[in-house]
Structure 1
Amino acid sequence: MSSVRYLYISLFSLGLVIFAVILQQSGYQGVSFLPCPLCILQRVGYLAIAIFCFLAVGIAPFRKLFHALALLSAAYGVSVAGRQVWLLSHPETSCGIDPLEIWINQFQLSKDIPWLFKADGLCSAKLPAILGLQVPEWSLFWFSVLFLVLLVTLFKKRT
């Protein structure tokens, strides 16, 4: 894959995180979108994809390694987003406070950059749909697209 494509993927992943932060700060249809623990873990997945794709541009000898790490990050994101979509369709499995929230909020990043990494919401909370889909469903869609793009291009020759 070309350097430009890695940059596009990196910028797209960063754009999704920025959109999530804007949604968190400003809300949508008068509803505040507080990030839950699984949302924070998905942000980590998008940031990892962005970082590994950016490194693939800058460190050419290790391009395949960084590509594979970005692919693993996308697979991780698919699993986390898939879990949250499952929780949305099975709200009875939620027990109120998520023990994962306490664990995530103890990390130094949650204390240093709370607007990006602090979990405050419930994973099974139904929020207003955006263009017909819940935010976790959009996240699952975009992680799946990124996973497929990275998988298909992993063994292609660089152009």
Structure 2
Amino acid sequence: MLSTYYFQRLFSYVAGVSLSEYIRRRRMSQAAFKLQRTDEKVLDVALKYGYTSPTSFSRAFQSVHGITPAAAKSKGTTLNAYLPIKFSVKVTGGNAMPYRIAETEAIRIAGIRTSHFSIRNRLCIFALHITNRYLPVRKINHVNAPAF
């Protein structure tokens, strides 16, 4: 069983956003949809989505959408929609892969760090210039390599 603390840390690492921020954005997306599509009052929508005062709801709504809930009710207003996050696990490997360890001169490794939400995009993308098929494992100089 995973504790709440470790679940929140794992979620933040994988999703790129804290669990509380994700929940707040999802609630505000649903609240915005409700305000635009129905005639419900702002107070009723605030209570439905867990806010006890219209002031706190308005502040949270404005931080996510950039406009007040009352302004969101007007037609043609553009709002931000935060869709549900979907996680998938792909297990690969299990096949034999021939390798050899070779000593070569030091090489320079350059990387680009992205901040997208998917796991693949959150990993560093390394551009390597290697003339042979085998990755040298010794004497590699790390240039500003990010910590994982």
TM-score (norm 1): 0.28
In our comparison, the structure showing a higher alpha carbon Rg is: 2
TM-score (norm 2): 0.30
More strand per residue: 1 or 2? 2
Q: Which has the higher contact order (CA 8 A, sep 6+)?
A: 1
More helix per residue: 1 or 2? 1
